[in-house]
Amino acid sequence: MTLEDLVRLRRVRDRMDRAYAEPLDMPSLARAALMSPGHFQRSFRAAFGETPYSYLMTRRIERAKALLRRGDLTVTEVCMAVGCTSLGSFSSRFTELVGETPSAYRARSHEHGAPIPSCVAQRLTRPDRRREPRAEPGVWL
């Protein structure tokens, strides 16, 4: 992989970070990276350790957690706000990454994180596909 490829992949990843709630499809992301969809997917995985779809869903779940902690939106509203179109798929992926359902996450108290600066809280609550879900929801590692 060339340096130019990595620069283009990073730009596409940054676009995914900014536009996570918009409908993003593989062909348009691949075009932005000047690659075919298959080559883009393989290159993205090699560069960042996960597929573009997995990366995008992780960003969406990360934002969903922040919206659910606020408590003023329903799970369905949060699902749509982060760019997911299927409540079932959103709930399944959320449960897989977080270790509890979106409803359970929304219902429990999040006061223990209030004194933590938002930049630190974001890093601590970021879903990570490469590790096992926490056995006990709400416990900070």
Distance of alpha carbon 103 from alpha carbon 93, whole angstroms: 13
pLDDT for 27 equals 94
**Inter-residue contact 58 to 83 (CB < 8 Å):** no
End-to-end CA distance of the chain: 35
Q: What is the structure's pLDDT at 28?
A: 94
> For residues 118 and 129, what is the distance between their CA atoms, to the nearest angstrom?
22
Rounded to an integer, what distance in angstroms lies between the CA atom of residue 106 and that of residue 22?
23
For 10-38, give one letter per residue: b (16+ CB within 10 A) or e. eebbebbeeebeeebeeeebbebbebebe
pLDDT tens for the chain, residues 1 to 141 = 899 999 999 999 999 999 999 999 999 999 999 999 999 999 999 999 999 999 999 999 999 999 999 889 999 999 999 999 999 999 999 999 999 999 999 998 877 655 556 666 666 666 665 554 444 444 443
- Report CA 68 to chain centroid distance, whole Å: 14
pLDDT for the residue 139: 42
Cα maximum dimension of the chain: 47
Predicted pLDDT of residue 111: 74
What pTM does this model have?
A: 0.76
Quote the DSSP letter at residue 136: S
